[in-house]
């Protein structure tokens, strides 16, 4: 067993504040790089079946590239934490206690992932960084009343814990002084081959018997549709690419057993032998195969193209704030929002 370690390195300044690179290393040589900008996960590096280190998430070599015009114009939310409300809010509006709220419509007519400058573009404060009992980073952000149109001051905390069992544990908590929608998620793009090749041959399993119907613009309709006898049936592990005319996935799946002790999804690379298992207390996973990604210059001079990665975004049902029969995303004063997701890595 190797010694755990943590490092924090100031890289650049943004809006007069320091942007840091934070590195967590566990006792088995697994390494995670993060930043206080967007609370993003820059890299996750783990030995493959031959002991060769492989970085399994898309991103950039340098933090400065996350501020480049090329990236900001394309803006696929690489590795960031998104909020206040992940996914789409229909027509950028919702009602709480009889009062109508209009939020920013960054993907007209809807809002996506919190608006024009959601949590993914904020500089979070570093609350703590530690090596014992496990390598951990804790970040905080205060979202002021009215930000992107949302009501209430929202205090958010995000912790990232790297265990010696090769688990990366994410925990998000929040408190508010006025009722407001809260639904955070990690928007990481996984490629367990460790490159920019298509993820078609990755094997995926999602413990979900139903998915959410949606309009062509991906806004959910409120319909709950069984996966059985469809191309959305991942109840048994199978390759991501479902047919020769594969157009990709961007759907929310309703998890059968949303519990942090239950594996709700697993992804496997036959090339590297790396497997990731996803455990979460959230009721849904948005499965996205990056069909709108690229071309974008990424790590190690690679060019990210369509299907170069995939996202497994643990969250509440999209547009729940406007769909009464979906789980509520409204947080009230005196309550605490708690989102827990664990990525467990292994080699087979």
The catalytic position among 113, 187, 202, 317 is 187
The catalytic position among 110, 148, 313, 339 is 313
Does the annotation mark 31 as catalytic?
no
Does the annotation mark 313 as catalytic?
yes
For every residue of 152-215, DSSP letters joined together read S-EEEEEEEEE-TTSEEEEEEEEEESS-EE-B-EEE--B-TTSSSS--TT-EEEE-EEEEEEE-
For every residue of 221-267, DSSP letters joined together read EEEEEE-TTSTT--SS-EES--STT----EEEEEES---TTSEEEEE
Which tokens belong to 139? 């970040």
Q: Rounded to whole angstroms, what are the CA distances from 148 to 101, 152, 203?
A: 11, 11, 38
Q: How far apart are CA 300 and CA 195, in angstroms?
A: 9
Query: What does the chain come to in residues?
Result: 348
Catalytic residue numbers read 187, 313
């Amino acid at each position: 067993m190797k010694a755990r370690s943590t490092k924090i390195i100031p890289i650049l300044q943004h809006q007069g504040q320091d942007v840091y690179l934070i590195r967590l290393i566990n006792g088995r040589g697994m390494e995670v790089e993060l930043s206080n900008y967007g609370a993003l996960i820059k890299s996750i590096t783990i030995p493959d079946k031959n002991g060769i280190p492989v970085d399994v998430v898309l991103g950039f070599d340098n933090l400065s590239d996350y501020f480049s015009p090329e990236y900001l114009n394309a803006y696929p939310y690489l590795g960031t934490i998104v909020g206040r409300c992940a996914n789409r809010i229909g027509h950028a509006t919702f009602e709480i206690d009889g009062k109508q709220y209009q939020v920013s419509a960054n993907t007209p007519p809807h809002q996506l992932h919190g608006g024009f400058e959601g949590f993914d573009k904020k500089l979070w404060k570093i609350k703590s960084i530690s090596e014992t009992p496990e390598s951990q980073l804790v970040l905080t952000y205060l979202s002021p009343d009215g930000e992107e149109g949302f009501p209430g001051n929202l205090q958010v905390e995000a912790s990232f814990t790297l265990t010696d069992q090769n688990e990366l544990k994410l925990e998000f908590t929040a408190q508010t002084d006025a009722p407001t929608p809260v639904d955070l998620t990690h928007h990481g793009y996984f490629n367990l081959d460790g490159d920019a090749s298509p993820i078609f041959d990755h094997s995926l399993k999602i413990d979900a018997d139903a998915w959410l119907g949606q309009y062509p613009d991906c806004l959910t309709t409120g319909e709950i549709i069984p996966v059985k006898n469809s191309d959305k049936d991942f109840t048994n592990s199978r390759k991501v690419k479902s047919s020769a005319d594969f157009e990709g996935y961007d759907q929310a799946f309703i998890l059968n057993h949303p519990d942090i002790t239950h594996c709700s999804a697993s992804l496997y690379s036959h090339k590297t032998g790396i497997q990731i298992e996803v455990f979460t207390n959230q009721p849904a996973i948005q499965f996205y195969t990056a069909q709108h990604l690229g071309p974008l210059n990424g790590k190690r001079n690679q060019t990210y193209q369509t299907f170069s990665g995939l996202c497994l975004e643990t969250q509440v049902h999209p547009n729940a704030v406007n769909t009464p029969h979906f789980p509520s995303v409204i947080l009230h004063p005196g309550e605490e929002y708690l989102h827990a997701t664990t990525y467990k890595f292994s080699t087979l």
